[in-house]
């Protein structure tokens, strides 16, 4: 299976502005920045169960050549995405995969958040994919990054001070360079 897509991950509640800016640059005609979105490969819906969504995310990651994590103030603390089969009285944990197996139901599940799950998958595939960690800030603060990705990939801030506008703004050149080079 060819790895041709770019996978964008982040904590949408706190960093949607940064994530949306990356997508705007990708979709705009005046920017020299284009990628094929891994999330366009297979649809999964917010109304789906977290375990089902993680199956979709895993399939998307399998087609990914570049993993981009947008890090903000709440990235490490978000817990959205934890899933479990409540009726399972006989379960075992695999440290290798970070998942539980319910031997009664024959199902595997993860109690990790979506972000922790995505970061673990990216780390597992690190020999085959490029990992980019973008900070929704003017500086890199690795203490905000999930521990598993702190020492791998390219880490870059997304904002710079724009003297023309007199304020901090998303820096297209920094982001494009981090993702594309």
pLDDT at residue 151, rounded to an integer:
96
Q: Domain containing 38 — which CATH number? A: 3.40.50
Within a domain: residue 129? yes
Per-residue pLDDT of the chain (181 residues; tens, 9 = 90+): 677 789 899 998 899 999 999 999 988 776 777 787 777 666 665 556 777 777 778 888 888 899 999 999 999 888 787 765 555 556 666 666 666 666 555 566 666 788 998 999 999 999 999 999 999 999 999 999 999 999 999 999 999 999 999 999 999 999 999 998 8
Residue 90 placed within a domain = no
- Distance from C-alpha of 48 to C-alpha of 146, rounded to nearest angstrom: 25
Residue 132 lies in a domain: yes
Q: How many domains does the chain fold into?
A: 1
Strand bridging mode 154-157 / 130-135: parallel
Q: What is the pTM of this model?
A: 0.81
Q: Which domain holds residue 150?
A: 5-79+112-180
Distance in angstroms (rounded) separating the CA atoms of residues 179 and 74: 22
Burial level of 179, CB count in 10 A (0-12/13-18/19+)?
buried
Q: Is residue 166 part of a domain?
A: yes
């Amino acid at each position: 299976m060819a790895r041709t897509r770019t996978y964008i991950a982040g904590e949408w509640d706190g960093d949607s502005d940064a994530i949306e800016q990356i997508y705007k640059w990708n979709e705009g005609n005046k920017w020299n920045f284009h990628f094929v979105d891994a999330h366009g490969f297979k649809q999964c819906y917010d109304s789906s169960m977290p375990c089902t969504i993680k199956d979709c995310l895993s399939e998307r990651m399998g087609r990914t050549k570049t993993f981009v994590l947008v890090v903000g103030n709440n990235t490490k603390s978000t817990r959205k995405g934890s899933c479990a089969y409540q009726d399972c009285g006989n379960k075992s944990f695999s440290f290798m995969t970070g998942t539980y197996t319910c031997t009664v139901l024959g199902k595997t599940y993860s109690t990790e958040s979506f972000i922790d799950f995505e970061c673990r998958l990216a780390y597992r595939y690190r020999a085959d994919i490029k990992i980019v960690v973008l900070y929704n800030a003017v500086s890199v603060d690795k203490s905000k990054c999930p521990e598993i990705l702190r020492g791998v990939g390219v880490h870059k801030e997304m904002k710079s001070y724009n003297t023309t506008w007199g304020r901090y703004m998303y820096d297209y050149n920094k982001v494009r360079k981090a993702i594309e080079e």
